[in-house]
């Protein structure tokens, strides 16, 4: 099996499955392409004909209205035909296998699949089995990867901070279950960020996470010191109490981003969050809506980055 | 039927014999090694030049999938796979559907297997009824029906009082208790070894302590009850150390390792290859090294194929949803040979890990070429290379992490009870 199934022999992007192993030039090409689309999105007619006649299937085995909508908008602004399928939590529950579903859709002449699935590696499996010329975009697989989110975060960081090679970036909270954190870490390391930190209790940090090239902090005040970028992660409701955490309140006390804790970071630090927010849990409203927050620009740039990924995969950028 | 095997390099790991010499078989037994007995007139002579003749392999874990799981494999296909792999004796775990928890099922399985006249089958009975971990199975009746030990397989046994009483009961009658050490709560939901690879891939982890915590309990209970315990499928270096320490203080304990764990580690799942989804999970490179060493130094008594045929549909799914296991019978010899070569062991010591040593674990007569012993043999070409492809396998399971790779060591003939049951 190819070590990097998303890049072909000529170095072209054929699928977007993970930010791990994505060359820096490719990431920068995606970000540069996205910046052209940002201006498209600011125009009155927010549409370019790059993907006219192409069929993009949003195949969501795990529901997410937000993410699906951003992909849908991105595809429509590229003039593609978009078909949304919410297949629900489990492919097997329906009796049809994941690959049968994909092969059926492929027979309807799909050009691209945007896939979200609860199981890590599901988009890899699909990418291995689609015919040549059909692309797979991972829109989130289990705890593994959410590459377009990682890339839009890189876009946002570059927009505000310009130079990746001088930054300290802290990722705070439930790294264990976060595909977003993993995609961010790989992209940040590839782009040459010298200091990537993860901050959280031992129950919410995955084993050997330092082997990904990050520094581990359990004390938030220490971890945030002199950071240029603070990324807070969403804490899922079902994880707020149980064996991993005693309560949302105790989590907030230790790891919730408050103005006081943020004061440890650099004065010009930006605050990011992949959404949706749990106000008062991982982030205070005062921070989420405050002057350091770039959470809304993240959403805006997300459309442009997804347009860039689709255009590049279609060979039109 | 009398058979003379000429020109073979005869290796008998039980005695350390390794020489090119004739072998004479008569009436299902080894009649002589070396000079023919007086008046020996073979009905058949096999010229085995270039081949090794050794005791037929003994596999401590081969799932035959009967009864109940015939869509994955049948007794016919898997018994054919066994002899194609040079395996002449095999123990089958009780995790069939229904599990082997009543004598009728065991008798039927034994009868079906015997009617095929291929490898010898030694069923392991369920330790608890339906493998549910609540009530102990009828060990006496099951032993009478042919069970050589009692195994909880991969089913959880969370109530340690049940385990304590099962061991006491088994110890009363001298039955062997087989256990795969894994704490069900610590392993809950996990599909891959907890470490850098599971972190990168975002796969729900099974920590190494899931094995060692369970192993601590098993060792304590074994010591307290005096039960004859066999620890199945050790997967961690810490587990190896616990077993070594228990053996050093005199505990009569045996254990095995699955062959895939001697060659692969968690990194091999890097591309989400569902064929690397195994039970127990592939651990890290240091664990693999500890297992390889422990099998060589005898801390681990035997290697097994852990043969688990799985149909394609159950593997063509995301890693975490894939049915665990790999087909193994036909890769058993090549992978054992590869381990021995990499460990720089001589061929007799290498083969002992898959012949005389597992035979001793089961307490069966197999695994020796001494005159008078059962004529169960494997003749193989140790250098012949072959590619692992679905078409090259007799097993109905084509699920192997070694698919597409080349391995050395091909079985030429398998003899059971003095009859040639396979010719390659």
Judge whether A7 is closer than 8 Å to chain B, CB to CB.
no
Residue of B nearest to A210 (CA): B196
Note whether B291 and B262 are within 8 A (CB). yes
Domain boundary among B335, B362, B389: B362
Whether A5 is covered by a domain: the verdict is no
Which residue from A20, A98, A129 is facing B200, i.e. has the nearest CB? A20
Cα separation of B364 and B72, whole Å? 29
Which residue from B195, B271, B321 is facing A119, i.e. has the nearest CB? B321
Which residue from A98, A142, A182 is facing B317, i.e. has the nearest CB? A98
Largest CA distance in chain A: 56
Choose from A5, A87, A100, A125 for mutation: most chain B CBs within 10 A: A125
Q: Supply the pLDDT for residue A1.
A: 38
Kindly state whether residues B46 and B71 are assigned to the same domain. Answer: no
Kindly state whether residues A163 and A126 are assigned to the same domain. Answer: no
Residues contacting B167, CB < 8 A, separation 6+ = B177, B221, B222, B225, B227, B229
Kindly state whether residues B123 and B253 are assigned to the same domain. Answer: yes
Q: Supply the pLDDT for residue B349.
A: 97
Q: Supply the pLDDT for residue A89.
A: 52
Distances, alpha carbon B62 to alpha carbons A221, B221, B236, in Å: 55, 27, 21
Q: Supply the pLDDT for residue A316.
A: 79
CB contact under 8 A, A98 and B203: no
* pLDDT band at residue B295 using 50, 70 and 90 as cut-offs: very high
How large a percentage of chain B has pLDDT more than 70? Answer: 100
CB contact under 8 A, A182 and B320: no
Kindly state whether residues B138 and B30 are assigned to the same domain. Answer: no
Kindly state whether residues A173 and A286 are assigned to the same domain. Answer: yes
Kindly state whether residues B354 and B411 are assigned to the same domain. Answer: no
Which residue from A1, A3, A144 is facing B201, i.e. has the nearest CB? A144
Whether B368 is covered by a domain: the verdict is no
CB contact under 8 A, A120 and B320: yes
Considering chain B, what is the average pLDDT of its residues?
97
Would you say how long chain A is, in residues?
A: 317
Sort out which chain A residues have CB atoms less than 8 A from B321's CB and list them.
92, 119
Kindly state whether residues B264 and B395 are assigned to the same domain. Answer: no
Q: What is the CATH number of the domain that holds B88?
A: 3.20.20.140
Kindly state whether residues B265 and B286 are assigned to the same domain. Answer: yes
Q: What is the pLDDT of residues B98-107, one digit of tens each?
A: 999 999 999 9
Weakly modelled stretches of chain A, pLDDT under 70: 1-3, 88-94
Whether A13 is covered by a domain: the verdict is no
Residues contacting B65, CB < 8 A, separation 6+ = B72, B73, B74, B75, B78, B96, B309, B396
Whether A113 is covered by a domain: the verdict is yes
Note whether B331 and B409 are within 8 A (CB). no
Kindly state whether residues A304 and A290 are assigned to the same domain. Answer: no
Q: What is the CATH number of the domain that holds B42?
A: 2.30.40.10
CB contact under 8 A, B318 and A143: no
Note whether A239 and B231 are within 8 A (CB). no
Largest CA distance in chain B: 69
Burial class (CB in 10 A: 0-12, 13-18, 19+), A65: exposed
Kindly state whether residues B324 and B378 are assigned to the same domain. Answer: no
Kindly state whether residues A70 and A126 are assigned to the same domain. Answer: yes
Q: Supply the pLDDT for residue B271.
A: 87
Which residue from B199, B203, B273 is facing A209, i.e. has the nearest CB? B199
CB contact under 8 A, A207 and B195: yes
Residue for token digits 């695994």?
A: B367
Sort out which chain A residues have CB atoms less than 8 A from B196's CB and list them.
207-208, 211-212
Q: Supply the pLDDT for residue A2.
A: 46
Which range marks the domain in which residue A194 is found?
148-294
Which range marks the domain in which residue B224 is found?
56-362
Note whether A203 and A220 are within 8 A (CB). no
Q: What is the CATH number of the domain that holds A115?
A: 3.40.50.1370
Q: What is the pLDDT of residues B134-174, one digit of tens each?
A: 999 999 999 999 999 999 999 999 999 999 999 999 999 99
Q: Name which of B88, B92, B16 is nearest B58 in CA terms.
A: B88
Kindly state whether residues B127 and B253 are assigned to the same domain. Answer: yes
Kindly state whether residues A237 and A128 are assigned to the same domain. Answer: no
Give the burial string for A207-226 (b: 16+ CB within 10 Å, else e): bebeebebeebeebeebbee
Whether B209 is covered by a domain: the verdict is yes
Residue of B nearest to A141 (CA): B202
Kindly state whether residues B240 and B304 are assigned to the same domain. Answer: yes
Whether A14 is covered by a domain: the verdict is no
Kindly state whether residues A214 and A288 are assigned to the same domain. Answer: yes
Distances, alpha carbon B287 to alpha carbons B257, B290, B364, in Å: 12, 5, 30
The conformation of residue B62, written as its DSSP 8-state character, comes to B
Domain boundary among B309, B340, B362: B362
Whether A250 is covered by a domain: the verdict is yes
CB contact under 8 A, B202 and A142: yes
Sort out which chain A residues have CB atoms less than 8 A from B205's CB and list them.
206-207
Q: Which one from B59, B256, B266, B306 is the annotated catalytic residue? A: B306
Q: Supply the pLDDT for residue A3.
A: 62
Mean pLDDT of B121-126: 98
Residues contacting A285, CB < 8 A, separation 6+ = A279
Is B269 strand, coil or helix?
A: helix
Whether B369 is covered by a domain: the verdict is no
Residues contacting B129, CB < 8 A, separation 6+ = B101, B135, B136, B137
Kindly state whether residues A157 and A221 are assigned to the same domain. Answer: yes
Report the range of poorest mean pLDDT among A175-179, A250-254, B65-69, B377-381. B65-69
Kindly state whether residues A81 and A162 are assigned to the same domain. Answer: no
CB contact under 8 A, B317 and A125: yes
* pLDDT band at residue B73 using 50, 70 and 90 as cut-offs: confident
Q: Name which of B202, B177, B8, B197 is nearest B94 in CA terms.
A: B177
Kindly state whether residues B138 and B31 are assigned to the same domain. Answer: no
Is B411 strand, coil or helix?
A: strand
> What count of Cα atoms within 13 Å lies in the side-chain half-sphere of residue A90?
6
Q: Structural domain tally of chain A?
A: 2
Q: Is residue B27 among the annotated active site residues?
A: no
Q: What is the pLDDT of residues B194-208, one digit of tens each?
A: 999 999 999 999 999
CB contact under 8 A, A142 and B316: no
Q: Structural domain tally of chain B?
A: 2
Return the axis-axis angle of helices A98-107 and A122-129, rounded to nearest 10°: 40
């Amino acid at each position: 099996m190819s070590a990097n199934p998303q890049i072909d022999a000529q170095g072209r992007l054929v699928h977007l499955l993970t930010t791990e192993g994505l060359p820096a030039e490719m990431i920068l090409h995606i970000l540069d392409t996205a910046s052209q689309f940002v201006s498209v999105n600011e125009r009155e007619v927010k549409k370019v004909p790059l993907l006219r006649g192409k069929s993009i299937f949003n195949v969501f085995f795990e529901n997410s209205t937000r993410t699906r909508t951003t992909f849908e908008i991105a595809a429509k602004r590229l003039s593609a035909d978009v078909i949304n399928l919410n297949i629900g939590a489990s492919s097997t529950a329906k009796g049809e296998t994941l690959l049968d579903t994909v092969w059926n859709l492929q027979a309807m002449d799909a050009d691209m699949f945007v896939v979200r699935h609860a199981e890590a590696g599901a988009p890899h499996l699909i990418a291995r089995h689609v015919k040549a010329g059909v692309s797979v975009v991972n829109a989130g697989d289990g705890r593994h990867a959410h590459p377009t989110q990682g890339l839009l975060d890189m876009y946002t960081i570059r927009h505000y901070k310009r130079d990746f090679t001088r930054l300290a970036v802290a990722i705070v909270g439930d790294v264990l279950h976060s595909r977003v954190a993993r995609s961010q870490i790989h992209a940040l390391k590839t782009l040459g960020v010298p200091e990537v930190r993860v901050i959280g209790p031992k129950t919410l940090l995955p084993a050997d996470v330092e082997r990904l090239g990050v520094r581990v902090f359990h004390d938030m005040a220490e971890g945030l010191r002199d950071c240029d970028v603070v990324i807070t992660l969403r804490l899922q409701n079902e994880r707020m109490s149980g064996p991993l955490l005693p309560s949302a309140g105790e989590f907030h006390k230790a790891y919730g981003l408050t103005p006081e804790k943020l004061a440890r970071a650099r004065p010009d630090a930006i605050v990011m969050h992949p959404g949706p927010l749990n106000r008062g849990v991982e982030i205070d409203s005062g921070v989420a809506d405050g002057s350091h927050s770039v959470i809304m620009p993240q959403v805006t740039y997300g459309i442009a980055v997804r347009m860039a990924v689709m255009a590049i995969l279609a060979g039109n950028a | 039927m009398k058979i003379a095997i000429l020109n073979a390099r005869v290796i008998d790991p039980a005695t350390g014999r390794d020489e090119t010499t004739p072998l004479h078989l008569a009436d299902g037994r080894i009649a002589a090694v070396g000079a023919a007995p007086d008046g020996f007139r073979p009905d058949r002579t096999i010229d085995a030049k270039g081949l090794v003749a050794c005791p037929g392999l003994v596999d401590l874990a081969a799932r035959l999938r009967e009864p109940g799981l015939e869509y994955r494999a049948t007794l016919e296909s898997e018994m054919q796979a066994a002899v194609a792999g040079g395996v002449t004796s095999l123990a089958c775990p009780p995790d069939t559907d229904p599990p082997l928890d009543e004598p009728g099922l065991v008798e039927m399985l034994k009868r079906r297997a015997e009617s095929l006249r291929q490898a010898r089958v030694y069923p392991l009975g369920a330790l608890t009824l339906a493998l549910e971990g609540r009530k102990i199975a009828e060990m006496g009746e099951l032993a009478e029906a042919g069970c050589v030990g009692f195994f909880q397989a991969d089913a959880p046994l969370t109530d340690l009082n049940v385990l304590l009483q099962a061991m006491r009961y088994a110890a009363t009658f001298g039955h062997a208790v087989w256990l795969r050490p894994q704490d069900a709560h610590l392993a809950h939901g996990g599909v891959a070894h907890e470490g850098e690879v599971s972190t990168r891939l975002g796969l729900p982890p099974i920590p190494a302590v899931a094995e060692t915590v369970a192993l601590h309990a098993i060792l304590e209970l074994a010591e307290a009850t005096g039960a004859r315990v066999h620890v199945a499928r050790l997967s961690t270096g810490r587990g190896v150390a616990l077993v070594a320490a228990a053996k050093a203080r005199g505990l009569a304990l045996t254990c095995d390792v699955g062959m895939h764990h001697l060659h692969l580690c968690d990194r091999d799942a890097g591309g989400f290859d569902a064929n690397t989804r195994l039970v127990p999970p592939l651990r890290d490179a240091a664990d693999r090294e500890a297992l390889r060493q422990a099998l060589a130094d005898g801390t681990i008594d035997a290697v097994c194929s852990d043969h688990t045929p799985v149909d394609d549909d159950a593997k063509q799914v995301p890693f975490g949803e894939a049915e665990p296991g790999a087909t193994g019978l036909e890769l058993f010899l090549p992978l054992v040979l590869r381990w021995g070569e990499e460990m720089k062991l001589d061929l007799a010591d290498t083969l002992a890990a898959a012949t005389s040593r597992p035979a001793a674990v089961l307490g069966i007569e197999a695994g020796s070429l001494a005159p008078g012993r059962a004529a169960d043999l494997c003749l193989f070409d140790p250098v012949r290379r072959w590619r692992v492809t679905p078409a090259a396998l007799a097993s109905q399971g084509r699920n192997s992490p070694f698919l597409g790779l080349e391995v050395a060591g091909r079985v030429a003939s398998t003899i059971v009870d003095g009859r040639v049951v396979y010719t390659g």
